[in-house]
Amino acid sequence: MARILIVDDAAIIRRSLQHIVEKAGHEVVGMTGDGQEALKLYKELKPDLTTLDVWLGEEDGIQILGSIRKEDPDARVIMVTSAGWEEKKEEAKKLGAAGYIEKPFNSKVITDKIANIVGRNKDK
């Protein structure tokens, strides 16, 4: 079971991700739609995994990824965004994103990605 922080500016996406990860047996330790709040929650909660939207309203999720990885170089972050943002995908990879999921997503893609990342990094 992983402890997961969900970061997305759309409440419906946060709730959808929460439902998917909890149904898979993981614990959602926090949720927010704000990048600065995400950084604060990451520092406080030290989740095993974070899902992070590439666009958080006015904020750039790639910058938030960079800040999280600066805080914790071992942070495992899955970037979530709409299709067609290949340049952002490359930026996220360079900053150490553990994975990438495109919206619209399905639960199997998410649960498989989480299992893969958490499974291969059990000793974090």
Domain boundaries, the chain: 3-118
Whole-angstrom distance, CA of residue 3 vs CA of residue 118: 10
Q: Is the dihedral of CA 97, 99, 105, 110 positive or negative?
A: negative
Q: What is the pLDDT of residue 84?
A: 65
pLDDT value at residue 82: 77
Q: Which CATH class is domain 3-118?
A: alpha beta
pLDDT of residue 121: 54
What is the tens place of the pLDDT at every residue in 66-84? 999 999 999 999 999 876 6
Checking if the pLDDT of 3 tops 90, the result is: yes
Between 19 and 90, residue with greater pLDDT: 19
Tell me whether strands 55-56 and 59-60 are parallel, antiparallel or unpaired: antiparallel
pLDDT at 101 over 80: yes
**SS3 call for 47:** coil
Q: Place 102 in a pLDDT band, splitting at 50, 70 and 90.
A: confident
Render pLDDT for 25-72 as a digit per residue (tens, 0 to 9).
999 999 999 999 999 999 999 999 999 999 887 888 999 999 999 999
Residues whose CB is less than 8 angstroms from the CB of residue 40 and which lie 6 or more positions away in sequence, other chains included: none
Q: What percent of the chain has pLDDT over 70?
A: 94
For residue 75, which phi and psi values (nearest 5 degrees)?
Answer: -60, 140
